[in-house]
Amino acid sequence: MQKRIVDILNILGQTYHGATIALECKNPFQLLVATILSAQCTDKRVNIVTKDLFKKYPTIQSVAEAIPAEFENDIRSTGFFRNKAKNIIATSNILIEKYGGKIPKTMEELTALPGIARKTANIILTFGFGIIDGIAVDTHVSRVSKRLGLTDSDNPEKIEKQLMELIPKSEWGNINSRIIRHGREVCFARKPACGICPLNKVCPSAGKIK
């Protein structure tokens, strides 16, 4: 397994060396908002929405003071807009009241905020502050990891724990972006392109998924 892990990491690194987060953000707070919006929504759609959203609400204070119904309408096309608006506004108020308008830099503090689970917290820490505390597990990471035989679970937290045990910590910050790129470009949810996959020689699922 360790030999295969090394091969997988090397191939992903060579193939997707420059891969990084697709969400377009200028600061950790924008990243927090965008990541909450990205739940059950494409990064492309989120980037379209946040382009205007961040102009209308340029600060944490402006989001905290937003009229819920109006904010809901502003993010409507990302789906689940009522719950997302509620969580983003509530989190903004907590950030002002408890953290002086700053984004906390620990997993425990972030996951205590409304709408932020480990995946979102990992993204904020990794791409917002360069703090590596885990591996963000989204649908791409879950699917590709399972096909590669790196996990047998469908639970994101269990998958993260298994990946953290298998993958050296020095690679945790890169693995999410590289697997996401691979999932979007090759290892599709339906009918993965195994014939052109750079990982097909080390993937136990290669050619078996129709």
Q: Annotated active-site positions, please?
A: 119, 138
Pure H helices in 38-171:
43-56, 60-64, 68-74, 81-99, 107-110, 118-123, 139-147, 156-166
Handedness of CA 108, 115, 34, 46 (dihedral sign): positive
Question: How is residue 13 written in tokens?
Answer: 């690194």
The CB-side HSE value for 127 (13 A sphere, CA atoms) comes to 27
What whole-number distance in Å separates Cα of residue 39 and Cα of residue 156?
14
